[in-house]
């Protein structure tokens, strides 16, 4: 299985400051159709996950533009340009190129 490794696992952030989460895969996520199936999810306590980003850089409808995704191959990053209070929770990356699709361990974002 493709192992997705996120870092850091815990991220204390200051409101209004940027934040960045790294996600590395044990294999290239470039699919035979030339797409790279790497997505990002945000889960608040007691809620279901919400997709933020898909195919590395595509932002979902309604997702604030302070969220952005980047990367290629095996190295990916989720950036929040200015953290807001509603951004707390756990962030997961997920690869959909190789079955079984797999998630990272999660990064817990909290306000300092």
Partner 1 sequence: EVQLLESGGGLVQPGGSLRLSCAASGFTFSSFGMGWVRQAPGKGLEWVSFIYGDGSATFYADSVKGRFTISRDNSKKMLYLQMDSLRAEDTAVFHCTTGSSLRSGPEYWGQGTLVTVSS
Task: Name the residues that contact partner 1, by CB under 8 A.
Answer: 1, 31, 35, 37, 39-41, 48-51, 54-55, 60, 92, 94, 96-97, 99-106
CB 14, min distance to partner 1, A: 26
CB 100, min distance to partner 1, A: 5
CA atoms within 13 A on the CB side of 93: 34
CB 1, min distance to partner 1, A: 8
Give the CA distances from residue 22 to residues 32, 46, 57, 62, in Å, rounded to whole numbers and listed in that order.
24, 24, 14, 23
């Amino acid at each position: 299985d493709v192992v997705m490794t996120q870092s850091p696992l815990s991220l204390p952030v200051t409101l209004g400051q940027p934040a960045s989460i790294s996600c590395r895969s044990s294999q290239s996520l470039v699919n035979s159709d030339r797409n790279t199936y790497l997505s990002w999810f945000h889960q608040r306590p007691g809620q279901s996950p919400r997709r933020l980003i898909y195919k590395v850089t595509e932002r979902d409808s309604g997702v604030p533009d302070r969220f952005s995704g980047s990367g290629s191959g095996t190295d990916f990053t989720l950036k929040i340009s200015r953290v807001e209070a509603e951004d707390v929770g756990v962030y997961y990356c997920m690869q959909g190129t190789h079955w079984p699709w797999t998630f990272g361990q999660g990064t817990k974002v909290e306000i300092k």
